[in-house]
Amino acid sequence: MGCLVDTTSRPGLVSRTGMSVVTAVDNIVGAVRLAVASMREAYAASGSSVSCIHEIWLQQVRFTGLHALTITAAAGIITGAIVIIQSMAILPQVGAADSLGKLIALIVIREVGPLLVAFIVIGRSATATSVELGTMVVGDEIAVLRSLGIPPRAYVVFPRLAGITVATMALLVYFDLAAVAGGYVVSFMFVRIAPSFFLGSVAHHLRAVDLTATLAKGFLFGGIIASIACYFGLSVEPSPTEIPKAALRTVVHAILLCLVADLVITFASLGR
Amino acid sequence: MMPPVLTAHAVSVTLGSTAVLRDVNLAVSPGDSIAVIGGSNSGKSTLLRVLAGLVRPARGEVLFKGNPVRSWDPLGVPWPHGIGYVSQLLGLRSNMSVLDNVMLPLRYHGHLPELRIRERATTLLMRLGVIESNVRPAALAPGEAELVALARALAHEPSVLLFDNPSAVLDVDSADRVTDLLRELRGLGLAVVSASSSEAVAAVIADSVRRLRDGRMEEQ
What B130-134 contacts at long range (C-beta under 8 Å, 24+ apart), as own/partner pairs, is B130/B98, B132/B98, B133/B97, B133/B98, B133/B99, B133/B102, B134/B97, B134/B98, B134/B99
CA distance B197 to chain A (A): 20
Q: Which of A140, A143, A149 shows the shortest C-beta gap to B109?
A: A149
Predicted TM-score (pTM) of this structure: 0.90
Position A195 confidence tier, pLDDT thresholds 50, 70, 90: confident
ipTM of the complex: 0.93
Residues of A in contact with B137 (CB under 8 A): none
**pLDDT block averages, 10 residues each, chain B of length 220:** 89 91 95 93 94 94 88 85 90 94 94 93 95 92 93 94 84 86 92 91 88 86
B198 to each of B23, B37, B162, B203, B204, how far by Cα in Å?
A: 23, 7, 16, 9, 10
Q: Which of A37, A49, A151 shows the shortest C-beta gap to B110?
A: A49
pLDDT at site A191: 77
| Contact yes or no for B104 and A150 at CB 8 A | yes
| Contact yes or no for A146 and B76 at CB 8 A | yes
Dihedrals phi, psi of B216, to nearest 5 degrees? -110, 140
CB A169 within 8 A of CB A121: no
- pLDDT at A1 exceeding the cut of 60: no
Residues of B in contact with A51 (CB under 8 A): 107
Dihedrals phi, psi of A130, to nearest 5 degrees? -65, -35
